[in-house]
Structure 1
Amino acid sequence: MRSTIQDCPKRNIYNRSKKALVIIAISISVVACNKTTETVKEVKTAYIDTSELMKEYTEAKDLEAKYKAQSEEKGRQLEAEINRFKQDAANFQSQAQANGQEWAQKRGAELQKREQQLGYAQQALAQQLQQSSGAEMDSLVSGVKKFIKDYGKQKGYDYIYGTGDAASVLYAQEKYDITKEIIKALNEKYKSSSKSEEKVEDKKEEKK
Protein backbone atom coordinates (compact mmCIF):
# COMPACT_ATOMS: atom_id res chain seq x y z
CA MET A 1 0.00 0.00 0.00
CA ARG A 2 2.89 2.32 0.77
CA SER A 3 4.27 1.97 -2.74
CA THR A 4 0.81 2.68 -4.18
CA ILE A 5 0.39 5.78 -2.03
CA GLN A 6 3.84 6.98 -3.00
CA ASP A 7 3.09 6.41 -6.73
CA CYS A 8 -0.12 8.50 -6.66
CA PRO A 9 1.60 11.89 -6.59
CA LYS A 10 3.85 10.74 -9.40
CA ARG A 11 0.82 9.68 -11.44
CA ASN A 12 -0.93 12.97 -10.66
CA ILE A 13 2.13 14.96 -11.75
CA TYR A 14 2.40 12.85 -14.91
CA ASN A 15 -1.30 13.29 -15.70
CA ARG A 16 -1.09 17.02 -15.09
CA SER A 17 1.98 17.28 -17.30
CA LYS A 18 0.23 15.27 -20.00
CA LYS A 19 -2.84 17.54 -19.79
CA ALA A 20 -0.62 20.60 -19.90
CA LEU A 21 1.15 19.33 -23.00
CA VAL A 22 -2.22 18.65 -24.67
CA ILE A 23 -3.41 22.17 -23.81
CA ILE A 24 -0.16 23.67 -25.13
CA ALA A 25 -0.47 21.64 -28.36
CA ILE A 26 -4.07 22.78 -28.84
CA SER A 27 -3.09 26.38 -28.13
CA ILE A 28 -0.29 26.21 -30.71
CA SER A 29 -2.71 24.76 -33.28
CA VAL A 30 -5.24 27.52 -32.61
CA VAL A 31 -2.54 30.20 -32.90
CA ALA A 32 -1.29 28.63 -36.13
CA CYS A 33 -4.82 28.54 -37.55
CA ASN A 34 -5.38 32.15 -36.55
CA LYS A 35 -2.12 33.17 -38.23
CA THR A 36 -3.12 31.32 -41.38
CA THR A 37 -6.51 33.04 -41.34
CA GLU A 38 -4.86 36.41 -40.78
CA THR A 39 -2.48 35.77 -43.67
CA VAL A 40 -5.36 34.93 -46.01
CA LYS A 41 -7.26 38.02 -44.93
CA GLU A 42 -4.24 40.23 -45.55
CA VAL A 43 -3.95 39.20 -49.23
CA LYS A 44 -5.26 42.10 -51.34
CA THR A 45 -5.96 41.30 -54.97
CA ALA A 46 -7.53 42.98 -58.00
CA TYR A 47 -7.70 42.73 -61.78
CA ILE A 48 -7.65 45.10 -64.76
CA ASP A 49 -9.38 44.71 -68.12
CA THR A 50 -6.37 45.62 -70.30
CA SER A 51 -8.47 45.94 -73.47
CA GLU A 52 -10.78 48.47 -71.82
CA LEU A 53 -7.77 50.25 -70.33
CA MET A 54 -6.16 50.83 -73.74
CA LYS A 55 -9.50 51.98 -75.21
CA GLU A 56 -10.09 54.58 -72.50
CA TYR A 57 -6.52 55.71 -71.78
CA THR A 58 -6.24 59.23 -73.23
CA GLU A 59 -2.57 58.92 -74.21
CA ALA A 60 -3.29 55.72 -76.16
CA LYS A 61 -6.21 57.43 -77.95
CA ASP A 62 -4.04 60.45 -78.74
CA LEU A 63 -1.33 58.19 -80.11
CA GLU A 64 -3.82 56.38 -82.33
CA ALA A 65 -5.25 59.69 -83.58
CA LYS A 66 -1.74 61.01 -84.29
CA TYR A 67 -0.77 58.12 -86.55
CA LYS A 68 -4.19 57.99 -88.17
CA ALA A 69 -3.74 61.65 -89.16
CA GLN A 70 -0.21 60.96 -90.44
CA SER A 71 -1.44 57.98 -92.41
CA GLU A 72 -4.23 60.01 -93.99
CA GLU A 73 -1.96 62.97 -94.81
CA LYS A 74 0.83 60.91 -96.36
CA GLY A 75 -1.73 58.62 -97.94
CA ARG A 76 -3.35 61.60 -99.70
CA GLN A 77 0.00 62.62 -101.19
CA LEU A 78 0.61 59.09 -102.44
CA GLU A 79 -2.97 58.79 -103.66
CA ALA A 80 -2.51 61.93 -105.81
CA GLU A 81 0.53 60.34 -107.46
CA ILE A 82 -1.39 57.09 -108.02
CA ASN A 83 -4.27 59.00 -109.66
CA ARG A 84 -1.84 60.79 -111.95
CA PHE A 85 -0.33 57.45 -112.90
CA LYS A 86 -3.78 56.00 -113.66
CA GLN A 87 -4.55 59.00 -115.87
CA ASP A 88 -1.24 58.67 -117.71
CA ALA A 89 -1.82 54.93 -118.17
CA ALA A 90 -5.28 55.62 -119.63
CA ASN A 91 -3.86 58.25 -121.99
CA PHE A 92 -1.08 55.87 -123.02
CA GLN A 93 -3.54 53.41 -124.57
CA SER A 94 -5.17 56.07 -126.68
CA GLN A 95 -1.82 57.65 -127.73
CA ALA A 96 0.07 54.43 -128.45
CA GLN A 97 -1.43 53.90 -131.91
CA ALA A 98 -0.92 57.51 -132.92
CA ASN A 99 2.73 57.74 -131.79
CA GLY A 100 3.97 54.40 -133.09
CA GLN A 101 5.52 51.24 -131.66
CA GLU A 102 8.87 52.76 -130.60
CA TRP A 103 7.18 55.49 -128.57
CA ALA A 104 4.76 52.95 -127.08
CA GLN A 105 7.59 50.67 -125.92
CA LYS A 106 9.53 53.54 -124.34
CA ARG A 107 6.46 55.07 -122.70
CA GLY A 108 5.23 51.66 -121.55
CA ALA A 109 8.58 50.97 -119.82
CA GLU A 110 8.37 54.36 -118.05
CA LEU A 111 4.86 53.66 -116.83
CA GLN A 112 5.85 50.20 -115.62
CA LYS A 113 8.77 51.69 -113.67
CA ARG A 114 6.47 54.31 -112.09
CA GLU A 115 4.01 51.60 -111.10
CA GLN A 116 6.77 49.66 -109.31
CA GLN A 117 7.98 52.82 -107.58
CA LEU A 118 4.47 53.58 -106.37
CA GLY A 119 4.18 50.03 -105.02
CA TYR A 120 7.49 50.42 -103.14
CA ALA A 121 6.35 53.81 -101.82
CA GLN A 122 3.15 52.27 -100.44
CA GLN A 123 5.09 49.50 -98.69
CA ALA A 124 7.66 51.96 -97.31
CA LEU A 125 4.94 54.23 -95.95
CA ALA A 126 3.15 51.35 -94.24
CA GLN A 127 6.42 50.08 -92.70
CA GLN A 128 7.44 53.55 -91.55
CA LEU A 129 4.14 54.19 -89.82
CA GLN A 130 4.12 50.71 -88.31
CA GLN A 131 7.65 51.03 -86.92
CA SER A 132 7.11 54.53 -85.54
CA SER A 133 3.73 53.76 -83.97
CA GLY A 134 4.98 50.38 -82.72
CA ALA A 135 7.96 51.96 -80.94
CA GLU A 136 5.76 54.60 -79.29
CA MET A 137 3.13 52.02 -78.34
CA ASP A 138 5.79 49.77 -76.77
CA SER A 139 7.01 52.74 -74.75
CA LEU A 140 3.42 53.54 -73.70
CA VAL A 141 2.74 49.94 -72.62
CA SER A 142 5.98 49.88 -70.59
CA GLY A 143 4.91 53.10 -68.91
CA VAL A 144 1.47 51.67 -68.09
CA LYS A 145 3.03 48.52 -66.59
CA LYS A 146 5.34 50.61 -64.42
CA PHE A 147 2.42 52.80 -63.34
CA ILE A 148 0.34 49.74 -62.35
CA LYS A 149 3.30 48.32 -60.42
CA ASP A 150 3.77 51.59 -58.51
CA TYR A 151 0.00 51.88 -58.00
CA GLY A 152 -0.14 48.34 -56.60
CA LYS A 153 2.65 49.08 -54.11
CA GLN A 154 1.07 52.38 -53.08
CA LYS A 155 -2.39 50.84 -52.55
CA GLY A 156 -1.04 47.74 -50.80
CA TYR A 157 -2.07 45.12 -53.37
CA ASP A 158 -0.44 41.69 -53.25
CA TYR A 159 -1.59 40.78 -56.77
CA ILE A 160 -3.01 42.70 -59.72
CA TYR A 161 -4.06 40.47 -62.61
CA GLY A 162 -4.78 41.39 -66.21
CA THR A 163 -7.72 40.33 -68.39
CA GLY A 164 -8.53 41.12 -72.02
CA ASP A 165 -6.49 40.12 -75.07
CA ALA A 166 -3.71 38.56 -72.95
CA ALA A 167 -6.02 37.08 -70.30
CA SER A 168 -4.43 35.66 -67.15
CA VAL A 169 -7.64 35.56 -65.06
CA LEU A 170 -10.40 33.12 -65.94
CA TYR A 171 -12.81 34.32 -63.26
CA ALA A 172 -12.96 37.10 -60.69
CA GLN A 173 -15.72 38.88 -58.82
CA GLU A 174 -16.49 42.36 -60.15
CA LYS A 175 -15.67 43.94 -56.78
CA TYR A 176 -12.01 43.22 -57.54
CA ASP A 177 -12.13 45.12 -60.86
CA ILE A 178 -9.98 48.28 -60.59
CA THR A 179 -9.90 49.06 -64.32
CA LYS A 180 -11.76 52.37 -63.93
CA GLU A 181 -9.50 53.41 -61.04
CA ILE A 182 -6.40 52.81 -63.12
CA ILE A 183 -7.85 54.58 -66.19
CA LYS A 184 -8.75 57.61 -64.07
CA ALA A 185 -5.34 57.73 -62.40
CA LEU A 186 -3.46 57.27 -65.69
CA ASN A 187 -5.51 59.97 -67.44
CA GLU A 188 -4.93 62.40 -64.58
CA LYS A 189 -1.20 61.75 -64.73
CA TYR A 190 -1.14 62.16 -68.53
CA LYS A 191 -3.19 65.37 -68.30
CA SER A 192 -0.86 66.89 -65.73
CA SER A 193 2.26 65.89 -67.72
CA SER A 194 0.73 67.39 -70.89
CA LYS A 195 0.11 70.67 -69.08
CA SER A 196 3.70 70.70 -67.83
CA GLU A 197 4.98 70.18 -71.38
CA GLU A 198 2.75 73.02 -72.63
CA LYS A 199 4.17 75.37 -69.99
CA VAL A 200 7.72 74.47 -71.02
CA GLU A 201 6.85 75.14 -74.69
CA ASP A 202 5.23 78.48 -73.77
CA LYS A 203 8.36 79.56 -71.89
CA LYS A 204 10.50 78.65 -74.89
CA GLU A 205 8.26 80.74 -77.13
CA GLU A 206 8.46 83.70 -74.73
CA LYS A 207 12.27 83.56 -74.76
CA LYS A 208 12.26 83.72 -78.55
Structure 2
Amino acid sequence: MKKITVLFLALTVAIMSCNKAAEKTSAGGQPSGRIVYVNTDTLLNNYEYYKDVVKEFENKRFALENDLAKRSQSFQNEVSMFQRRAQAGGMTEEQAKTTQMQLQKKEQDIMLFRDNAAGNLQEEQAKKTDELLTNINAYLKKYNSSDKYDMVIGYSKGGGVLYAKEDLDITDEILKGLNEEYKGSGKKAETPADSTKK
Protein backbone atom coordinates (compact mmCIF):
# COMPACT_ATOMS: atom_id res chain seq x y z
CA MET A 1 0.00 0.00 0.00
CA LYS A 2 3.08 2.16 0.23
CA LYS A 3 2.70 2.81 -3.51
CA ILE A 4 -0.60 4.63 -3.07
CA THR A 5 0.85 6.72 -0.23
CA VAL A 6 4.00 7.51 -2.20
CA LEU A 7 2.04 8.40 -5.32
CA PHE A 8 -0.35 10.55 -3.35
CA LEU A 9 2.34 12.34 -1.35
CA ALA A 10 4.48 12.75 -4.45
CA LEU A 11 1.69 14.98 -5.59
CA THR A 12 2.80 17.43 -2.91
CA VAL A 13 1.09 20.31 -4.57
CA ALA A 14 -2.44 19.30 -5.58
CA ILE A 15 -3.50 22.37 -7.51
CA MET A 16 -7.07 23.19 -8.22
CA SER A 17 -7.30 25.97 -10.79
CA CYS A 18 -10.44 28.04 -10.83
CA ASN A 19 -10.63 30.00 -14.11
CA LYS A 20 -12.90 32.76 -12.86
CA ALA A 21 -10.86 33.31 -9.73
CA ALA A 22 -7.61 33.35 -11.67
CA GLU A 23 -8.98 36.02 -13.98
CA LYS A 24 -9.96 38.36 -11.13
CA THR A 25 -7.22 40.82 -10.30
CA SER A 26 -6.85 43.44 -7.63
CA ALA A 27 -6.01 47.09 -8.29
CA GLY A 28 -2.29 46.29 -8.04
CA GLY A 29 -2.59 43.78 -10.87
CA GLN A 30 -2.01 40.78 -8.59
CA PRO A 31 -4.45 37.87 -8.65
CA SER A 32 -7.06 38.18 -5.92
CA GLY A 33 -8.37 35.34 -3.81
CA ARG A 34 -6.76 33.08 -1.31
CA ILE A 35 -4.55 30.02 -1.20
CA VAL A 36 -5.47 27.37 1.35
CA TYR A 37 -4.07 23.96 2.09
CA VAL A 38 -5.04 20.44 3.03
CA ASN A 39 -2.76 18.37 5.25
CA THR A 40 -2.34 15.22 3.14
CA ASP A 41 -0.99 13.15 6.06
CA THR A 42 -4.10 13.87 8.13
CA LEU A 43 -6.32 13.36 5.10
CA LEU A 44 -4.87 9.92 4.32
CA ASN A 45 -5.01 8.78 7.94
CA ASN A 46 -8.67 9.74 8.30
CA TYR A 47 -10.28 9.46 4.86
CA GLU A 48 -12.51 6.38 5.10
CA TYR A 49 -12.24 5.60 1.38
CA TYR A 50 -8.45 5.52 1.61
CA LYS A 51 -8.54 3.34 4.73
CA ASP A 52 -10.89 0.89 2.99
CA VAL A 53 -8.59 0.78 -0.05
CA VAL A 54 -5.60 0.04 2.19
CA LYS A 55 -7.50 -2.84 3.85
CA GLU A 56 -8.66 -4.15 0.49
CA PHE A 57 -5.12 -4.35 -0.87
CA GLU A 58 -3.71 -5.80 2.35
CA ASN A 59 -6.32 -8.59 2.04
CA LYS A 60 -5.54 -9.16 -1.62
CA ARG A 61 -1.79 -9.22 -0.98
CA PHE A 62 -2.28 -11.66 1.92
CA ALA A 63 -4.48 -13.93 -0.24
CA LEU A 64 -1.90 -13.85 -3.05
CA GLU A 65 0.96 -14.68 -0.66
CA ASN A 66 -1.04 -17.62 0.74
CA ASP A 67 -1.86 -18.88 -2.75
CA LEU A 68 1.80 -18.68 -3.78
CA ALA A 69 2.91 -20.44 -0.59
CA LYS A 70 0.47 -23.31 -1.28
CA ARG A 71 1.61 -23.63 -4.90
CA SER A 72 5.27 -23.58 -3.87
CA GLN A 73 4.72 -26.17 -1.15
CA SER A 74 2.85 -28.45 -3.53
CA PHE A 75 5.67 -28.08 -6.06
CA GLN A 76 8.32 -28.84 -3.42
CA ASN A 77 6.41 -31.98 -2.41
CA GLU A 78 6.38 -33.16 -6.03
CA VAL A 79 10.12 -32.50 -6.37
CA SER A 80 10.84 -34.45 -3.17
CA MET A 81 8.69 -37.36 -4.33
CA PHE A 82 10.46 -37.37 -7.71
CA GLN A 83 13.89 -37.36 -6.05
CA ARG A 84 12.94 -40.26 -3.74
CA ARG A 85 11.57 -42.34 -6.62
CA ALA A 86 14.60 -41.59 -8.82
CA GLN A 87 17.04 -42.53 -6.05
CA ALA A 88 15.12 -45.73 -5.27
CA GLY A 89 15.25 -46.70 -8.94
CA GLY A 90 11.48 -46.55 -9.23
CA MET A 91 11.51 -45.02 -12.72
CA THR A 92 13.30 -45.41 -16.01
CA GLU A 93 15.72 -42.80 -17.34
CA GLU A 94 13.07 -41.73 -19.88
CA GLN A 95 10.44 -41.35 -17.13
CA ALA A 96 12.91 -39.34 -15.04
CA LYS A 97 13.60 -36.96 -17.95
CA THR A 98 9.89 -36.52 -18.67
CA THR A 99 9.09 -35.88 -15.00
CA GLN A 100 11.98 -33.42 -14.72
CA MET A 101 10.67 -31.46 -17.72
CA GLN A 102 7.17 -31.43 -16.23
CA LEU A 103 8.52 -30.12 -12.93
CA GLN A 104 10.51 -27.40 -14.70
CA LYS A 105 7.33 -26.38 -16.54
CA LYS A 106 5.39 -26.26 -13.25
CA GLU A 107 8.09 -24.10 -11.68
CA GLN A 108 7.96 -21.69 -14.64
CA ASP A 109 4.15 -21.60 -14.40
CA ILE A 110 4.33 -20.69 -10.70
CA MET A 111 6.80 -17.87 -11.43
CA LEU A 112 4.66 -16.63 -14.32
CA PHE A 113 1.56 -16.70 -12.11
CA ARG A 114 3.43 -14.77 -9.38
CA ASP A 115 4.66 -12.10 -11.83
CA ASN A 116 1.24 -11.72 -13.50
CA ALA A 117 -0.60 -11.52 -10.18
CA ALA A 118 1.86 -8.94 -8.81
CA GLY A 119 1.55 -6.90 -12.03
CA ASN A 120 -2.26 -7.01 -11.88
CA LEU A 121 -2.18 -5.90 -8.25
CA GLN A 122 0.08 -2.96 -9.10
CA GLU A 123 -2.18 -2.00 -12.00
CA GLU A 124 -5.20 -2.14 -9.72
CA GLN A 125 -3.42 0.01 -7.12
CA ALA A 126 -2.58 2.60 -9.77
CA LYS A 127 -6.28 2.75 -10.79
CA LYS A 128 -7.36 3.13 -7.16
CA THR A 129 -4.79 5.89 -6.65
CA ASP A 130 -6.13 7.70 -9.69
CA GLU A 131 -9.69 7.23 -8.40
CA LEU A 132 -8.65 8.57 -4.99
CA LEU A 133 -7.09 11.70 -6.49
CA THR A 134 -10.09 12.17 -8.82
CA ASN A 135 -12.49 11.95 -5.85
CA ILE A 136 -10.51 14.53 -3.89
CA ASN A 137 -10.16 16.87 -6.85
CA ALA A 138 -13.87 16.62 -7.71
CA TYR A 139 -14.83 17.33 -4.12
CA LEU A 140 -12.48 20.35 -3.98
CA LYS A 141 -14.07 21.76 -7.15
CA LYS A 142 -17.50 21.35 -5.60
CA TYR A 143 -16.27 22.80 -2.28
CA ASN A 144 -14.91 25.83 -4.11
CA SER A 145 -17.89 26.33 -6.43
CA SER A 146 -18.26 29.89 -5.12
CA ASP A 147 -14.69 30.73 -6.32
CA LYS A 148 -13.62 31.62 -2.80
CA TYR A 149 -10.13 30.22 -3.37
CA ASP A 150 -7.68 30.40 -6.25
CA MET A 151 -5.70 27.37 -5.18
CA VAL A 152 -5.78 24.45 -2.76
CA ILE A 153 -2.37 22.91 -2.13
CA GLY A 154 -1.40 19.68 -0.44
CA TYR A 155 0.80 20.00 2.63
CA SER A 156 2.78 17.17 4.22
CA LYS A 157 5.68 17.17 6.64
CA GLY A 158 8.90 17.23 4.66
CA GLY A 159 7.03 18.15 1.48
CA GLY A 160 7.37 21.20 -0.75
CA VAL A 161 5.49 23.57 1.57
CA LEU A 162 7.73 24.36 4.55
CA TYR A 163 5.33 26.62 6.44
CA ALA A 164 1.69 27.62 6.25
CA LYS A 165 -0.48 29.57 8.68
CA GLU A 166 -2.96 27.42 10.54
CA ASP A 167 -5.93 29.57 9.54
CA LEU A 168 -5.31 28.53 5.93
CA ASP A 169 -5.78 24.85 6.84
CA ILE A 170 -9.11 23.51 5.53
CA THR A 171 -8.26 19.83 6.14
CA ASP A 172 -11.04 19.17 8.68
CA GLU A 173 -13.76 20.63 6.45
CA ILE A 174 -12.52 18.72 3.39
CA LEU A 175 -12.13 15.48 5.35
CA LYS A 176 -15.62 15.77 6.81
CA GLY A 177 -17.12 16.41 3.39
CA LEU A 178 -15.19 13.60 1.68
CA ASN A 179 -16.18 11.09 4.37
CA GLU A 180 -19.84 12.15 4.24
CA GLU A 181 -19.82 11.87 0.45
CA TYR A 182 -18.16 8.43 0.57
CA LYS A 183 -20.54 7.18 3.25
CA GLY A 184 -23.51 8.45 1.24
CA SER A 185 -22.27 6.97 -2.04
CA GLY A 186 -22.76 3.41 -0.82
CA LYS A 187 -19.43 2.51 -2.44
CA LYS A 188 -17.26 0.41 -0.22
CA ALA A 189 -14.00 -1.30 -0.99
CA GLU A 190 -14.19 -5.08 -1.32
CA THR A 191 -14.27 -7.19 1.79
CA PRO A 192 -11.84 -10.12 2.06
CA ALA A 193 -14.67 -12.48 1.03
CA ASP A 194 -15.38 -10.43 -2.12
CA SER A 195 -11.73 -10.35 -3.15
CA THR A 196 -11.35 -14.14 -2.94
CA LYS A 197 -14.32 -14.73 -5.25
CA LYS A 198 -12.43 -13.32 -8.21
Considering the TM-score relative to the shorter chain, is it more than 0.5? yes
Q: Which residue of 2 aligns with 1:180?
A: 172
Q: Residue 93 in 1 paired to residue 83 in 2? A: yes
Give 2:23's aligned residue: none
| Superposed CA RMSD | 2.8
- In 1, Cα distance between equivalents of 2:158 and 2:49: 20
The answer to whether structure 1 residue 84 and structure 2 residue 74 are counterparts is: yes
Name 1:143's counterpart in structure 2.
135
**1:156 match: secondary structure:** coil
Please give the alpha-carbon distance, in whole angstroms, between the structure 2 residues aligned to 1:116 and 1:165.
Answer: 44
| d(CA) in 2 for partners of 1:183, 1:166 | 21
Cα contact 2:33–2:148 (8 A) shared by 1: no
Indicate yes or no: 2:52 matched with 1:62. Answer: yes
| Deviation for aligned residue 1:166 | 9.7
Question: Alignment partner for residue 131 of structure 1, among 118, 123, 126?
Answer: 123
| Residue 4 (structure 1) aligns with | none
Q: What code does the residue aligned with 1:102 have?
A: E
Query: Residues of 2 paired with 1:117 and 1:161: CA distance?
Result: 47
Identity of aligned residues (%): 29
Report the residue type matching 2:82 in the other structure: F
- Specify the SS of the correspondent of 1:172: coil
CA contact (8 A) 2:75 2:106 kept: yes
Identify, as 1 or 2, the structure richer in helix. Answer: 1
TM-score (norm 1): 0.66
* Amino acid of the structure 1 residue aligned with 2:62: E
Q: Quick one: which of 153, 171, 184 aligns to 2:145?
A: 153
Specify the structure having the higher radius of gyration (Cα): 1
Q: Which structure would you say has the larger RCO, counting Cα contacts within 8 Å and 6 or more residues apart?
A: 2
Count matched residues.
160
Unpaired runs of 5+ residues, structure 1, are 1-34, 199-208
Other-structure match for 1:30: none
Task: Provide the C-alpha distance between the structure 2 equivalents of 1:168 and 1:152, rounded to a whole number of angstroms.
Answer: 23
Match of 2:62 in 1: 72
Aligned to 1:48: 38
Give the aligned partner of residue 155 of structure 2: 163
The Cα shift of 1:157 comes to 2.1
Confirm or deny: 8 A CA contact 1:96 1:103 kept in the other structure.
no
Instruction: Give the 3-state SS of the residue equivalent to 1:171 in structure 2.
Output: coil
Distance apart, 1:168 and its partner CA: 4.2
Report the Cα offset of residue 83 of structure 1.
0.9
Shift of 1:124: 0.7
Question: Cα offset for 1:187?
Answer: 0.5
Question: How far is the alpha carbon of 1:130 from its aligned partner?
Answer: 1.5
Match of 1:112 among 80, 91, 104: 104
